[in-house]
Each structure stands twice: as C-alpha cells, then as structure tokens.
C-alpha cells in the first residue's frame, strides 16, 4: 500500500560496503515508508544478501560510505541486538543452528528484549507460552518445535517457518526477508507467504529479497527493485518482476555495460 504521506521508516543513501577487501555494495539507494512492500530481485552475487546483512549489522561487513537512517536515527551506529530491539528484523536465508539452546527460551528472551525496548512488561514463562502458542498459528507450526534446540535438525521449511514465527513475536517495523522462499516446497511456501502477508500492515514495511517470481505471486509488492553489481539498477511496480520472469536477466548486462561507460549511478526510473 503506497501512501506518499506515510512515515519514513528506512532510508538508504549511497550505501557502499565490503567484505574483507571485496567491495560488494557500490551505492545503494532505497526508501521504505510505512505500509509498503518492496521486493529486491537480482542474480546470485548481485549484492542482495549483502544488503540485508549490512542492514542487520553483520560484523563481517564494513560500510565504507553512505548512510542508513531508521526512523530518523543513524542505524549503522547500532549493535545488531539494538537494531532488532528497535524493530528491524532480518529473516535469514540460512537460519543458524544453535545446539543446546532451547527454541522456546530463545524466543522468550528475544521477545522480552524487544518488549523492554518498547517499555512493555516482560512476559513470564506462562504468559509467554500463551503468546507463542497463539503466534504459532501464523505459521501453522507444531508446538513440538518449541522444545527443540534452535533450528537444530529442522528441515529447510521448518527453519523458515521458525523465522516467520520470530517475526510474529518481535513485531518489527521493518522486516527484511532474505530468500525466504529458497528451499521451500509449494505448501511451505504458501504458509510462509501467508504468514508474511498477515504480518504486513499499514504501520510496518517489508523488504523481500528473492530471485524468483513465485513468492511475488503470493505476496504482491508495491515496488520491485532490480539489483546488479552492488546497486539498484531499476525500480518499478509489480509488473517489473513479471517482465523479469519473461525476459530473464540478460538485459541487465547490457544496462550495466552502459552504466560503466557513463559512470551513471542513479537508478533508472521506469513505469
């Protein structure tokens, strides 16, 4: 839902970042307002996942230039946990297994950290169990998964559902979902997509990172961005994704070559 007067949530300006000595992001610009759903598409290696990790504060990535403003504050100044507490959420492409740490406890500690930030009372074990059981419905997850270690031995689909469960508990303002559709069969994909749609509302924004159309068949984006070589090459509406599906990414190479020639850095607006 596009409302030009909706509050600004996330503003990325000319963002450059590298991992080790390898520059990956080379000037990303992106603005998210409340109520919007954005999709970032692109080939492997275009910098999509790096963008999500930089936003979440992964220590392996170094920002070399540019800024990220989250609700008026400098996001890049904050530790990863602080970003999460103020409402930024990253759904991992590969959720990490943490043997020994109970999923239920992990969810409770995380939820309470977010609640404390919002000035809400921490939930005790019983109150939290009630909450988590209710939110489980969003992803149609078996409560048995709460008793297991975080993501340990979960199938690909179970891991992704666990990610969306966390999102449902943390109630983020900006949710970045990195390849949430990868490795999911059709039923799991539908459940995850329904969960995401259910959680998207007028007060929050969602950034879907994907390279397939199939997720976008289930969640309709307001904007589609095409990323290549560390920048956003093109921005359009949902029809851009359909066009990509039809024509593939070959035109991107052509456009990149033109860009190199003119040193043009601003995204090309279409439609």
Q: Which residues bind to another protein, rule: CB under 8 A?
A: 56-60, 79-81, 83-85, 90, 92, 95-96, 98-102, 105-106, 109-110, 113-114, 117, 149-150, 166, 170
Nearer to another protein, 26 or 115 (CB): 115
Distance between CA 7 and CA 64 in Å, rounded?
28
Minimum Å gap between C-beta 150 and another protein is 8
Find the shortest distance in angstroms from Cβ 199 to another protein: 16
C-beta closer to another protein: residue 113 or 259: 113
CB 15 to another protein: min, Å: 18
Return all residues near 33 (Cβ < 8 A) that are at least 6 apart: 2, 3, 4, 6, 7, 8, 9, 205
Residue 14 structure tokens: 């000319």
Q: Note whether 3 and 145 are within 8 A (CB).
A: no
Kindly tell me which of 40 and 176 has the beta carbon lying closer to another protein: 176
Nearer CB in complex with another protein: 176/228: 176
Comparison of 15 and 90: residue with beta carbon closer to another protein: 90
C-beta of 152: minimal distance to another protein in Å? 10
The answer to whether 163 and 92 have CB atoms below 8 angstroms apart is yes
Nearest approach, Cβ of residue 29 and another protein (Å): 24
Q: Are 30 and 225 in contact (CB under 8 A)?
A: yes
Q: Which is nearer to another protein, 180 or 235 (CB)?
A: 180
What is the nearest approach in angstroms of another protein to the Cβ of residue 189? Answer: 23
CB of 200 to another protein, least distance (A): 20
Q: Looking at beta carbons only, is 86 or 240 nearer to another protein?
A: 86
């Amino acid at each position: 839902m596009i409302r030009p007067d909706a509050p600004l949530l996330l503003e990325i300006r000319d963002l450059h970042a590298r991992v080790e000595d390898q520059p990956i992001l080379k000037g990303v610009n992106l603005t998210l307002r409340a109520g919007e759903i954005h999709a970032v598409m692109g080939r492997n290696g275009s910098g999509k996942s790096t963008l999500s990790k930089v936003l979440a504060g992964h220590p392996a990535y170094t920002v070399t230039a540019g800024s990220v403003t989250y609700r008026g504050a400098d996001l890049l100044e904050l530790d990863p946990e602080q970003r999460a507490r103020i409402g930024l959420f990253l759904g991992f492409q590969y959720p990490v297994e943490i043997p020994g740490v109970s999923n239920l406890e992990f969810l409770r500690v995380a939820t309470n950290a977010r609640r404390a930030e919002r000035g809400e009372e921490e939930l005790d074990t019983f109150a939290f169990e009630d909450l988590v059981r209710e939110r489980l419905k969003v992803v149609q997850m078996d409560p048995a998964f709460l008793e297991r270690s975080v993501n340990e031995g979960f199938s690909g689909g179970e891991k992704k559902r666990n990610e969306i469960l966390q999102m449902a508990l943390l109630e983020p303002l900006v949710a970045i979902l990195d390849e949430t559709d990868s490795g999911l069969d059709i039923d799991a994909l539908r459940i995850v997509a329904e969960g995401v749609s259910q959680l998207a509302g007028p007060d929050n924004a969602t950034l879907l990172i994907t390279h397939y159309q199939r997720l976008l068949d289930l969640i309709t984006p307001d904007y589609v961005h095409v990323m290549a070589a560390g920048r956003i090459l093109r921005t359009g509406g949902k029809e851009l994704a359909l066009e990509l599906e039809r024509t593939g990414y070959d035109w991107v190479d052509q456009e990149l070559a033109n860009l190199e020639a003119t040193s043009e850095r601003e995204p090309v607006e279409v439609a």
